[in-house]
Amino acid sequence: MENVKVIIWGLGAMGGGVADMLLTKKGVDIVGVAGRGKKIGTSMYDYIKTEKGDREDVLIQAAEDVIKPGAADIVILCTDSFTKNAFPRLKFIMEQGINVITSAEEMAYPAAQNPDLAEELDKIAKANGVSCLGTGINPGHIMDLLVLVMTGCMTDVKHILSRRVNSLSPFGPAVMEEQGIGISVDEFMKRKADGSMAGHVGFAESVGMMAEGLGLCVEDFSQDMNPIATDVDRKSPYGFAAAGSCAGVSMTADAKLCNGMEIRMEHPQQIEPEQVGVQTGDYVIIEGTPAVNMVNSPEVEGGLGTIAMCANMIPQVINAEPGLHTMITLPIPRALMGDVRDRICPDKKIVK
């Protein structure tokens, strides 16, 4: 079998990370990178951590010039967070007859906020005989999929608390800016009011996925964000929060499902939580029979986790029945450790 052929669209932290990861794997080739502006014509290796060495070069091209029928088995799209922004790109990829995985957070469960677009994507996928998946660490795994997997050993579920306490310290300047690291509490409240405070994108999607997974639906959903004001100076590689300013954002959501069951989501993210004695971790706390009281500590690092999920789901998406998928319609995620080709159904291979 030919190696699995992958095109990466967007070489930011996520797309670049996927490139670095795939270059360490067997049976898979990066056959193209789609980008724009001044990056076009330059080498992929100028933007990732891996050195080119003896490898053949991969030049960045306009999407239209590289994503063509038969050019690859799958495209990894890492350019957006929101379904409506990713939609035209997803449509274009699938209309070339190529499968796609995207790291866009809302695409982990697009039916939550864009049911019409989700339906449209499903139609486009089926019409072109390909599959589409949105995934990442969160939404996509740690606050939703993992919760569902644990309910698999329960005879009854009464209440779900999904908590991710993470450190923003590993992230770069863009995330520091986006999450308001170092701004005043007043400024935070102003940004929150005008909608320019990013916070975490994905609670509605996680809740929607969990509800569908359990065979229920969402009756009420609300979310909130509040500043994590620090009482000591905190300094991370790319961020600084003076005492009294914002060291992070605390996001929460509350949902009620159609059977009356409640889901609580808690996601405080901040730089240098250790400095103030906060133990980071991923918590799955489920009331029911039997109860679940699980923690992974420290938390799975968000960047690496999303990169891994996008790459590790490649075989499942290539092998899937055509359509729009979510993490609950495909076999479980797991690390790609052998030859990727061994996990591909021959009749699903596009580049033969």
- What residues make contact with a copy of itself under the rule CB under 8 A? 17, 21, 24, 137, 141-142, 145-146, 148-157, 213-216, 258-259, 261, 282, 284, 288-290, 292-298, 300-301, 304-305, 307-309, 311-313, 327-340, 342-343
Burial of 199 (0-12, 13-18, 19+ CB in 10 A): buried
State in angstroms the smallest separation of the CB of 43 from a copy of itself: 22
State in angstroms the smallest separation of the CB of 306 from a copy of itself: 8
Half-sphere exposure of 306 (CA within 13 A, CB side): 21
Closer CB to a copy of itself, 222 or 259, in the complex? 259
Closer CB to a copy of itself, 83 or 316, in the complex? 316
Within 8 A by CB and 6+ apart from 167, the residues are: 269, 270, 271, 272, 273, 274, 280, 298, 299
State in angstroms the smallest separation of the CB of 153 from a copy of itself: 4
Within 8 A by CB and 6+ apart from 334, the residues are: 312
State in angstroms the smallest separation of the CB of 71 from a copy of itself: 24
| CA–CA–CA angle 66, 321, 142 (5° rounding) | 85
Closer CB to a copy of itself, 140 or 227, in the complex? 140
At 78, list the tokens.
């890492």
At 29, list the tokens.
């080739």
Strand partners, 77: 9, 102
The C-alpha atoms of residue 122 and residue 251 are separated, in whole angstroms, by 31
State in angstroms the smallest separation of the CB of 344 from a copy of itself: 10
State in angstroms the smallest separation of the CB of 343 from a copy of itself: 5
Closer CB to a copy of itself, 227 or 315, in the complex? 315
Closer CB to a copy of itself, 77 or 137, in the complex? 137
Closer CB to a copy of itself, 97 or 303, in the complex? 303
